[in-house]
Each structure stands twice: as C-alpha cells, then as structure tokens.
Amino acid sequence: MASQEGGSGLIRGADRGTSLESSLVQMARAEQTGLSRASSLREPQHPPVLVVDDDDAIREALCDLLDDAGFATVGARHGLEALEVLATLGSAPSFILLDLMMPVMDGWAFCDRRGRSKALREIPVIAISAVELADSDRPTGIDAFLTKPIDLASFARLAFRMAGRKAQGRPTALPH
C-alpha cells in the first residue's frame, strides 16, 4: 500500500488519519446499503476501472485501493497499452484513470486517439499528473483532473461519481 506522506508521494489524505482505502470502502458500503441482501459484498458493483500509469508502484497501489473498494481494475503502462487493453475488454470500463506523462504514448496522445472513437469518447476519463496544468493545457475531452499527490477524499468521491455516471446511460459494450 502506498504511504500518505513522504515515500512515493502517491497520495495524500485530507488529514493525517485518512486513507484512500478507508474512504473508498466507506463509500462502497454506503452505496451497498440500498442493495438487496442477495448481492455479494465481494462482487464488483461496477465494470472495471482502467488504471494507466507508467510507474508500476503507483499503478499497482491505485489498483489495490480501487480493488479493496469493490472495483475491478485493469492496469496499463502507457496509452498504447491502454488502447490494446480496451480492444480486448468485453465491456467498457467504468472510467479510465490516466496519467498524462508517460513514455510510448502519453496521456495527450491517448486522449487524441480516444477523441476519434465514439465508443471510447463515452468512457469517462480522470487525468492525473504530478504537475498542475491550466485548463487550456489539459487534454481535450477529459472529465476530471487530479494533481499528484492525489487527495484521497476527492479521489474517492470522484471514483464513485464517475462509476455512477457510467452506469446511467453509457454504453456497456465496446465494438471490436
């Protein structure tokens, strides 16, 4: 699990006692309160989340945290690999968590390719970067932007909002 302070600088809590895992788990439990008892708590409630980051530790930590909150996850090391993963998925992910600065294909190039595909444009994208960017410098078509270190509470709210948005009227199948 990633450290909150120091370490890799991956994530930051709103206060010292906050963790992304506990924020996401609490929100998952709150969301499941309205579900029938027949639903398994271990079954993911949403299609998978695609986590795209070239830093293995960050990508794995984000996947672990989302997994712990009931999201299935799939990882990719760069934009080109993300496009390959998307081509193999049976259904569209709930959302894509996309680092912007990566080798091979960066987040801007991925968003450019995404913009050419109606099916991919329907998938919400949360862009993340270690550098704060003005709106005009951010990729076209992203749905949200977070600066690293990621604020845990903001990310937890955003993850469930994006997953809920996807569930309401977004296509579930990707054309192959």
3-state secondary structure 40-80: CCCCCCCCCEEEECCCHHHHHHHHHHHHHCCCCEEEECCHH
Residue 49: φ, ψ to 5°:
-105, 135
pLDDT score for 143: 92
- Residue 41 pLDDT: 42
pLDDT (tens place) for every residue of the chain, 176 residues total:
333 333 334 443 333 333 444 444 444 444 443 333 333 344 545 689 999 999 999 999 999 888 887 889 999 999 999 999 999 998 899 999 999 999 999 999 999 999 999 999 999 999 999 989 888 888 888 999 999 888 878 888 888 888 886 544 444 334 33
Give residue 45's pLDDT.
57
Helices (H), the chain: 20-32, 56-68, 79-88, 107-115, 118-121, 152-167
CA angle 27, 99, 76 (to 5 degrees): 85
Question: Is the domain covering 11-37+46-167 a CATH 3.40.50.300 domain?
Answer: no
Secondary structure (3-state) at 118 = helix
End-to-end CA distance of the chain: 35
- The full set of domain ranges for the chain reads 11-37+46-167
The pLDDT score that the predictor gives to residue 166 is 54
Q: 152-167 vs 20-32: helix axis angle to the nearest 10?
A: 40
